[in-house]
Structure 1
Amino acid sequence: MKPFYLAILSVILLFSCEDNGKRDTSFLPESLGTTNSLQVIITNDLWNGAVGETIRDYFAAPVDGLPQEEPLFSMNQMPPSTYTDFARKYRTFLHVTLGNEDNVSIKKNSYAKPQIGAFITARSKESLIKLISENHKEIISAFKASEIQENQKRIKISLKNLDSLEMEFGLSLKVPSAYRIAHGNSDFYWIRKDLKSGSTNILVYEVPLSLITNDSTAVGEIIKIRDSIGGSYLPVEDDDRFITEAAYAPYLFTTEIDGKFAYETKGIWEVKDQYMAGPFLNYAVKDTANDRYLILEGFTYAPSVAKRDLQFELESILKSAKIK
Structure 2
Amino acid sequence: MKKLGTLLLVASIVLALGACNDSGSNKRFLPPSTGPVNSLMVVMDTELWKGPVGDKIRDEFAAQIIGLPQIEPLFTITQLPPKVFKGTTTYSRSILYVEKDSTVLAHISTDAYSKPQKVAVITGPTEEIMIKNLDSLAPRAIKEFKAVELAEAQKRFSRSLSKDKALEEEFGITMDVPSLYKVGKREKNFVWMDIQIPKGTMNIIAYSMPWDSFENDSTFVQDIVRMRDSIGEKYIPGPYENTYMITEKAFAPYVFPAEIGGKKAAEVKGVWEIHGYPMAGPFLTYIVNDKEHNRKMILEGFTFAPSTEKRDYMFELEAILKTVNFEPQAPAD
- Relative to the length of structure 1, the TM-score reads 0.92
Partner of 2:252: 249
Where does the alignment leave 5 or more consecutive residues of structure 1 unmatched?
1-15
Corresponding residue of 2:37: 35
How far residue 267 of structure 1 moved from its aligned partner, in angstroms, is 0.2
Decide whether the 8 Å contact of 1:162 with 1:173 is kept in 2: no
Alignment of 1:173-188 (within 5 A): 173-188=175-190
Q: Which residue of structure 2 lines up, in the alignment, with residue 3 of structure 1?
A: none
CA distance in 2, matches of 1:80, 1:297: 42
Verify: 1:239 aligned to 2:242, yes or no: yes
Q: Which residue among 295, 298, 302 is the counterpart of 2:298?
A: 295
Q: Once the 2 structures are TM-superposed, how far is the Cα of residue 100 of structure 1 from its aligned partner?
A: 2.4
Alignment-derived partner of residue 66 in structure 2: 64
For 1:105-162, what per-residue CA distance to the aligned partner results, in whole angstroms no more than 9, with x for missing partners?
1111111111111111112110000111122111100110111111111111000013
1:20-77 Cα offsets, whole Å, 9 max, x none, are 6404666222211001000100101110000000000010100010000000000010
2:85 counterpart residue number: 83
Secondary structure (helix, strand or coil) at the match of 1:249 reads coil
**Aligned-partner Cα distance in 2 for 1:285–1:161:** 24
Following the alignment from structure 2 to structure 1, what is the Cα–Cα distance between the partners of residues 292 and 250?
37
Q: Matched residues, percent identical?
A: 43
Structure 1 CA distance for aligned equivalents of residues 136 and 182 of structure 2: 44
CA distance in 2 between counterparts of 1:306 and 1:116 reads 26
Partner of residue 6, structure 2: none
Deviation at 1:323, TM superposition (A): 0.9
Q: Distance in 2 between matches of 1:254 and 1:84?
A: 40
Tell me which residue corresponds to 2:282: 279
CA RMSD of aligned residues (A): 1.6
TM-score computed with the length of structure 2 as normaliser: 0.89
Q: Which amino acid aligns with 1:164?
A: A
Q: Please, which of 311, 315, 329 is the counterpart of residue 308 of structure 1? A: 311
The question of whether the paired residues in 2 share the 8 Å contact of 1:162 and 1:172 is answered with no
In structure 1, give the amino acid aligned to 2:317. Answer: L
Q: Is the 8 A contact 1:38 1:74 kept in 2?
A: yes
What is the rounded CA distance, in whole Å, between the counterparts of 2:218 and 2:276 in structure 1? 31
Tell whether the 8 Å contact from 1:169 to 1:186 is kept in structure 2 after alignment.
no
> In the TM superposition, what are the counterparts of 1:1-324 in structure 2 within 5 Å?
21-23=20-22, 27-236=29-238, 237-324=240-327
- Summarize the Cα distance change of 1:26–1:101 in structure 2 as closer, same or farther, 3 Å threshold: closer
Say how many residue pairs are matched.
308
Secondary structure of 2:161's counterpart equals coil
Q: Which amino acid aligns with 2:290?
A: D
Deviations 1:164-195 (A, max 9, x none): 31121011000001100011233100010111
Query: Which has the larger displacement, 288-297 or 83-92?
Result: 83-92
Mapped to 1, the partners of 2:185 and 2:17 lie a distance apart of 43
User: What is the rounded CA distance, in whole Å, between the counterparts of 2:92 and 2:77 in structure 1?
Assistant: 12
| Deviation larger for 56-65 or 177-186 | 177-186
The 8 Å contact of residues 90 and 114 in structure 2, kept in 1 or not, is answered as yes
- CA distances 1:213-267 after superposition (whole Å, capped 9, x unpaired): 1433222111111110011001221211210001122111001111211010000
- What is the distance in 2 between the residues matched to 1:68 and 1:323? 34
* Residue 134 to residue 265, structure 1, CA distance change in 2 (3 Å): same
Mark the runs of 5 or more structure 2 residues left unpaired by the alignment: 1-13, 328-333
Distance 2:54 2:27 in 1: 32
State the one-letter code of the partner of 1:199.
T
From the superposition, tell whether residues 51 and 318 of structure 1 become closer, same or farther in structure 2 (CA, over 3 Å): same
Judged with a 3 Å threshold, the aligned counterparts in structure 2 of structure 1 residues 40 and 192 are, in CA distance, closer, same or farther, namely same
Amino acid at match of 2:258: T
